[in-house]
Structures are given as structure tokens and as C-alpha cells.
Amino acid sequence: MLVVSRENFNRGDYVTCLMFTSAHFELRKGLPNCVPSRNGELGLSKDCVAQCETLTLLNRWMLDEVSGPIGTLEDMALRDVIRAVGFVIASDCEPV
């Protein structure tokens, strides 16, 4: 899971997130709604894609906040996620 909501929004009961999948990596890595991440990146143990069509809210109690994040996105990967979410919602999203 990738938390994509702003830090100040994450203090409430919910966080906005995207799900990852390793299923059909070779096919999905080229789709405009997916952002690939290779084994070892973001703390993941497999080649995966962030499925930007799965944008959803999760209750914070579902997170392991004690352990904290297993990884963070670099600026270019975050830009790719923003663009892919823009594709899903039919908007020309460009990071600032």
C-alpha cells in the first residue's frame, strides 16, 4: 500500500492510498494507470506496480504505525504516480 494523502490529512481517521500488485507485472508495468517499482525499491520484495485505479480511503487503525513506512517515493516516482492518478480520473495532473 502506498499512502498518497498529504501529511496533514493523515492525522485524521483516514488515509488515502493506492494498492500494489505483483500480478502480471510485465503486462501492467507499461499501462498508464500503473507505476512500476522493482524488487528492493520502496522496501518491496518483488517487482510490483502501484495500481493508481485503486485510489481509496483506509482507516488509520489498519496501518502499522509503530513500524512506520518501509520506504518512500523519490520525486520522479511521485511525479509518475500523480500522472497515473490523473490518467485514471481523466485529468492532466502535473506535480508542482
Q: Judge whether 33 lies within some domain.
A: yes
What are the cell numbers at 7?
501529511
- Name the 3-class secondary structure at 2: strand
Query: Phi and psi (nearest 5°) for 76?
Result: -70, -40
- Name the 3-class secondary structure at 39: coil
Q: Judge whether 93 lies within some domain.
A: no
- Taking the C-alpha atoms of residue 38 and residue 78, their distance in angstroms, rounded to an integer, is 15
Q: Judge whether 84 lies within some domain.
A: yes
Q: Judge whether 83 lies within some domain.
A: yes
Q: Please give the residue range of the domain that contains residue 38.
A: 2-88
The tens digit of pLDDT for each residue in 67-96 reads 888 888 888 888 999 999 999 999 987 766
State pTM to two decimals.
Answer: 0.85
The tens digit of pLDDT for each residue in 9-32 reads 888 899 999 999 999 999 999 999
When divided into structural domains, the chain yields a total of 1
Give the domain CATH number at 64. Answer: 2.30.30.110
